[in-house]
Structure 1
């Protein structure tokens, strides 16, 4: 494949509108490098940014599509750059998704609001309920079917901020609620394997956290960026984000239990670098924090935080550090005590149990655990993260096709995952 060709029309339009790359990025709450990738032809803006980007550039949606297709590989963009007809279909999809998951109220209200629309506490509360609802669905089902709905909600919060009329108090609450929705959207996109969407969403949440002076949103954004970096094989970068989250968690008004979140991210990233001492220290620190304060009441996104979760994180570190026996024991303990409402997380612990057993050479036990993951994926769980880990387990199990349990699993795996 040849090199991507710079979108010169997009560059010229941006300059004509009076924006530098930095200025446009700031107006869209994304990083400058994101705008640079658009203009260099390597990526296209995610769909929820199109209306605001078109408005800032002073062009129509159709004209924006033409500017983004100004590239010798324009045909390759067909999946990410919607035409005018595709844009209509996208809006229909968004509305269907929102209706399906019962979070359509805010979108329906704000999509029809224009400049000067009065925004009140009821609007903020709808956004808050939507975030709580999406977090609850994520814990039961995973992010594959939900991330678009969360993006629509986050964009609608931005729309109200940009075009609504509100008091200073409502504005502060609206900013916080929208930041929380971007965190939610980023987390769901990450679980769905939409990594650029996730990073952009976390970046926007981070920007809003600083405008709102909200340590919880800042901590979550940085901790989630750390999680993503570890997932993408960048543990050193993950450690930097985790240290930033650790500092943010000491901010004014932050609950004590919040300080456990950065430690969990630091533990796993440290184990990925082979630093057992730092990994063990971080797990221990997280346990001490939660021993002092584990009351996350009212925080739907943090409902998973428990001693069982810490056991699972310690087990994850043990796998990375070559301690499969310890990992197996902790994961069996985690799965036995974990609340069933967190189905996606349970699927993740089961696939790691399979990994630990493989590391021990217990292929039949690994296949048994992997069967449990298939039960989840053939039920209500749809998670790229779980699926990606299961793919690795399945690839390793192909080395032992003579084991009956393994053969049964591989047959079922091909049917369930690759049907």
Structure 2
């Protein structure tokens, strides 16, 4: 059930001002007339928004400065925890409002913070819900960040911060687009981030952009190209004083590229290097982008490589360990690794175990998960399972898939 909060006209005006939006633009975003907004602000009356209006207001609030956000303390924390609220936010809020209210004018730390908050929010939603809907919001935010760089007025320190924030946002957009199967958008986003990194002489963003390009190449069937990008990422990481997570990210991409190129030794070497990199981490709080990078993720990537190289028992053990350790904040990764666990079990001849694994994935896809990667890999596994008609659970599983596919969207 969607939680709708009563707003006051004064709060609406505060938020519109923070967005730097005219009454007409604000009204258009909310789907109401300009006279309605004017009455709200003049009378200070209570407003009970529709769910769609609520999502727009919530998203504008997420982008506001800290002093504005303190007026609404606690409101933002409700959004990701309510499934219906999250769906409304994604489909009506982020994509609709991302291009409003920023750009020309004098820019400062508040605008940098806005981009950082948007990136962090997209990152959290991506890990939990997948990128199939969110990628458009990432594109809109990236376009807005570029407008700020080109049209805004700012000093050198703020300019450096804007470049870094834009590069981080573009990398997140690339990952969202990968998860949505948007090949061109993913490649363009990572490439743009790489260009920003070089303008800013930021080796960490360069490392992550190159690792993203490597992942993208692996995902779309170019593992040798992925391996070259991953090696370039590792070289960029070597220029940094201490970057265990960025180094691990580049090595994990290299591991998958090696396995899919048929080079098991290369994959094993990269996995071992990634484990050493994380072991060297002094326990600092991970940045939002790196929250998923843990020994569990290394287990899952090693398991992915083991499937590629035919070590199915090893893959099953590692996938089970990773899945058991992950929490709900990484639901997309868990679903993806359940599908790959099913693949490992199928190749080991355990059809009933494969069905058990993908049944849990169907629960996620029937709920709040929207990921092209998960759906695509599940489709391949479904076709493999269908070859085992007569095995326990197969017909029931196939009937369930047909039932979900027949549901209206």
TM range (shorter): 0.7 to 0.9
Residue 100 of structure 2 is aligned to residue 108 of structure 1: yes
Matches within 5 A, 1:171-182: 171-182=159-170
Cα offset, 1:128, TM superposition: 0.3
Query: 1:326: how far off?
Result: 0.6
Question: Which residue matches 2:303?
Answer: 315
- Work out the CA distance in 1 between the residues paired with 2:323 and 2:282: 20
- Structure 1 residues 96, 418: CA separation in 2 closer, same or farther (over 3 Å shift)? farther
| CA deviations over 1:201-233 (Å, ceiling 9, x no partner) | 111111001011112211111111111111111
Q: Distance in 1 between matches of 2:242 and 2:174?
A: 21
Return closer, same or farther for 1:406/1:148 CA change in 2, 3 Å cut-off: same
Give the count of matched residue pairs: 323
Bigger shift: 268-277 or 291-300?
Answer: 291-300
Distance apart, 1:107 and its partner CA? 3.6
Structure 1 residue 385 and structure 2 residue 373: aligned? yes
Q: Which residue of 2 aligns with 1:69?
A: none
Residues 357-378 of structure 1: CA deviation (Å, up to 9, x unaligned): 0000111110110101111111
Q: Greater CA deviation, 320-329 or 292-301? A: 292-301
Structure 1 residue runs of 5 or longer lacking an equivalent are 1-91
1:227 is aligned to 2:215: yes
2:285 equivalent in structure 1: 297
8 Å CA contact 1:142–1:381 kept in 2: the answer is yes
Contact 2:307-2:344 at 8 Å conserved across structures:
yes
CA distance in structure 1 between the partners assigned to 2:362 and 2:181 by the alignment: 19
Match of 1:163 among 151, 159, 168: 151
Deviation at 1:401, TM superposition (A): 1.6
Q: Which residue of structure 2 lines up, in the alignment, with residue 325 of structure 1?
A: 313
Match of 1:124 in 2: 112
User: Which of 232, 253, 258 is the aligned partner of 2:246?
Assistant: 258
The answer to whether residue 408 in structure 2 is matched with residue 405 in structure 1 is no
Q: Structure 2 length normalisation: TM-score?
A: 0.75
From 173, 189, 200, the equivalent of 2:177 is 189
Contact 1:357 / 1:363 at 8 angstroms: preserved in 2?
A: yes
Over 3 Å counting, the alpha-carbon distance change for 1:97 and 1:205 in structure 2 is farther
Is contact 1:191–1:384 with CA below 8 Å preserved after alignment?
Answer: yes
Matched, 1:216 2:204: yes
Map 1:19-418 → 2, pairs under 5 A: 100-101=89-90, 107-110=99-102, 113-114=103-104, 117-252=105-240, 255-293=243-281, 295=283, 297-417=285-405
User: Residues 197, 95 of structure 1: CA spacing in aligned structure 2 closer, same or farther, 3 A cutoff?
Assistant: farther
How big is the shift at 1:267? 0.7
Go from structure 1 to structure 2 and tell me whether the alpha carbon gap of 1:292 and 1:140 turns closer, same or farther (over 3 Å shift): same
Answer yes or no: is the 8 Å Cα contact 2:245–2:293 preserved in 1. Answer: no
Question: Aligned with 2:382: secondary structure?
Answer: helix
Structure 2, gaps ≥5 residues long: 1-52, 61-88
Q: CA deviation at 1:253?
A: 5.2
Normalising to structure 1: TM-score of the pair?
0.74
SS in 1 for 2:390: coil
Distance change >3 Å, CA 234–CA 172, structure 1 → 2: same
3-state SS of 1:108 partner: coil
C-alpha deviation, 1:296, in angstroms: 5.6
Q: What's the offset of the Cα at 1:251?
A: 2.6
Residues 375-407 of structure 1 show CA distances to partners (whole Å, capped at 9, x for unaligned) of 111111100001110000000111112123111
Counterparts of 1:194 and 1:238 in 2: how far apart (Å)? 17
Q: Distance in 2 between matches of 1:372 and 1:296?
A: 34
State the distance in 2 between where 1:413 and 1:385 align. 17
Contact 2:98 2:137 in 1 (8 A): no
Match of 1:385, SS state, is: helix
Q: CA deviation at 1:413?
A: 1.2
CA distance in 2 between counterparts of 1:121 and 1:96 reads: 22
Aligned mates of 1:283, 1:298 — CA distance in 2 = 20
| Equivalent position of 1:64 in the other structure | none
CA distance in 2, matches of 1:247, 1:241: 10
